[in-house]
Amino acid sequence: MTVHVSPPDHVPHPYGTPEARHDIIDLRSARLARHLVLFTPTQDDLERLLDETRSALPGVADIAVVRRVMTTNPDTVFAIARREGYDALSPRGEGLTAVLPLNEAGMAALLTGSFDASDPDIRFIARQHERPAGIYLWVIHARRRLAAAVALMLQRISTPLCRDVDLFARAATAEGADYLEGIGFTKGAAWRALRAPGLHMFHRSERAERLPLYDSHRPGATGTSVAVARTFEDLSRVIALRAAVYMAEQACPYEEEFDGNDLSATHLIGYVGDEPAGCLRIRFFADFAKIERLAVRAEHRNTRMAFALVRAGIELARVKGYRRLYGHAQKRLVGFWSRFGFRVFEGAQELVFSDFDYIEMLLEAEPHPEAIGIGIDPYVIIRPEGRWHRAGTLDRSRARAVTRPSVDQKAAAR
């Protein structure tokens, strides 16, 4: 029997996804998933789980079909249990999740509507040693806390053979559609020249190339990446990084380093793998953005971290519509900032603070082709900072009718 238990601290994923209630990458739900176990069910337990699933999702394949699929590729069906109630000697699942790794013929059938998910043709299933052309989420029956097990299931299908393969799903219920879109799937699928508006799709292929510079970090990934600080935990990382660089190395007094501007700024965090390695602060004024507080830990200064952070900061400011970027550069680092187009402008003033000499520099950038402004989709403007390219929580309001519940309740009470 194969058992898959999440790591003790978090469940990383090596690919990217659109933002939603639970990012399939960040997957905050992974903190819940550490309390779950994913395992291959016994035949008797599988039959029971299928019966329970079928009561909620009519049309689920019968036991003979599922066994046939598992014989073709064992890495397809997983039971879910709470860790505290899991007995390795007598495992009993509380939920079920299953995937179908499809070959090219299977993907063509799926996108053209000739694929029968209740009785899939075995010729469409990729073998265990084959790279699938696409992965179809066959069944997810996991209510409440068990839903976090999707993090474990996705980790199982993120092997080198499968990690860049796109995911596809068909929502059997409105609740299912809401869940899929909540973890980053988008309505409408495409594969080769085929289109299927009724399917949901999650892009993993070539994902890294499509990520903005300021939103490139995904837990579990390798190399250098950048993310916008969005939580108090993120802000703690920023404080730790700057304390290590400016206070410990440059003897900057605490009250000068943490100057009262941190809660009115956007912070970027640079990662090497999953390790916070650097940070950058951006403050926004009427007609310019100020790039400041660039800090990189000493052990990561042989990487391209500083370059990644500055480029990400410039890109984020340009997307927000700023074309003038301003900064105070330590005079010994003017050459570094010049690499990005910053220049010491006519009339630039010199200044001294925290015992270092600085000079004003300015970058005048070209307009960003996707700059945010009045007239664009208003849902983009209310998305999380730096996640304008990804559907956010409030995007789901598009599909809901106007009910004005609080107003109507007050009117009814009169």
Euclidean distance between CA atoms 139 and 125, whole angstroms: 15
Highest mean pLDDT among 90-94, 146-150, 284-288: 284-288
Q: Are 253 and 241 in contact (CB under 8 A)?
A: no
Q: Is 244 left (phi over 0), alpha (psi -120 to 50) or beta?
A: alpha
DSSP string across 1-46: --EEE--SS----SS----SSS-TTT-TTHHHHTTEEEEPPPHHHH
Instruction: Give residue for tokens 């495409």.
Output: 190
User: 378: which residues sit within 8 A by CB, 6+ positions away?
Assistant: none
Q: Are 79 and 41 in contact (CB under 8 A)?
A: yes
Q: Are 199 and 169 in contact (CB under 8 A)?
A: yes
CATH number among 3.40.630.30, 2.60.40.650, 3.40.50.1370, 3.40.140.10, domain 3-210: 3.40.630.30
Q: Distances in Å between the alpha carbon of 230 and those of 227, 234, 237?
A: 9, 6, 11
Give the lowest-confidence range in 19-33, 127-141, 210-224, 234-248: 19-33
Helix (H, G, I), strand (E, B) or coil at 347: coil
pLDDT(238) > 60: yes
**Which secondary-structure segment (H or E) carries 312?**
helix 305-319
More confident position, 204 or 199: 199
pLDDT tens by residue, 257-303: 999 999 999 999 999 989 999 999 999 999 999 999 999 999 999 88
CB atoms under 10 Å from CB of 185, counted, come to: 26
Give the lowest-confidence range in 14-23, 232-241, 287-296: 14-23
pLDDT at residue 34 in the model: 67
Lay out the sheet containing 224-228: strands in order across. Answer: 224-228, 266-272, 275-284, 289-296, 324-330, 356-364, 350-353
Look at residues 158, 175, 108, 110 and name the one whose alpha carbon lies nearest to residue 138. 110
User: 101: which residues sit within 8 A by CB, 6+ positions away?
Assistant: 73, 75, 76, 125, 126, 130, 132, 135, 136, 157, 162, 165
**So where are the chain's domains?**
3-210, 213-364, 378-413
pLDDT at residue 408 in the model: 64
Mean pLDDT within 119-130? 90
Give the lowest-confidence range in 18-22, 132-136, 203-207, 301-305: 18-22
Question: pTM of whole model > 0.75?
Answer: no
pLDDT at residue 205 in the model: 67
Mean pLDDT within 66-71? 91
pLDDT tens by residue, 367-408: 898 899 999 889 889 999 999 988 778 887 777 788 887 776
- At position 208, the amino acid (one-letter code) is A
Q: Are 118 and 139 in contact (CB under 8 A)?
A: no
Mean pLDDT within 132-150? 78
**Which secondary-structure segment (H or E) carries 68?**
helix 63-72
Mean pLDDT within 218-234? 89
Euclidean distance between CA atoms 190 and 344, whole angstroms: 49
pLDDT at residue 159 in the model: 75
- At position 222, the amino acid (one-letter code) is T
Q: Tell me if domain 3-210 and domain 213-364 are identical in fold.
A: yes
Mean pLDDT within 216-228? 86
CATH architecture label of 213-364 = 3-Layer(aba) Sandwich (3.40)
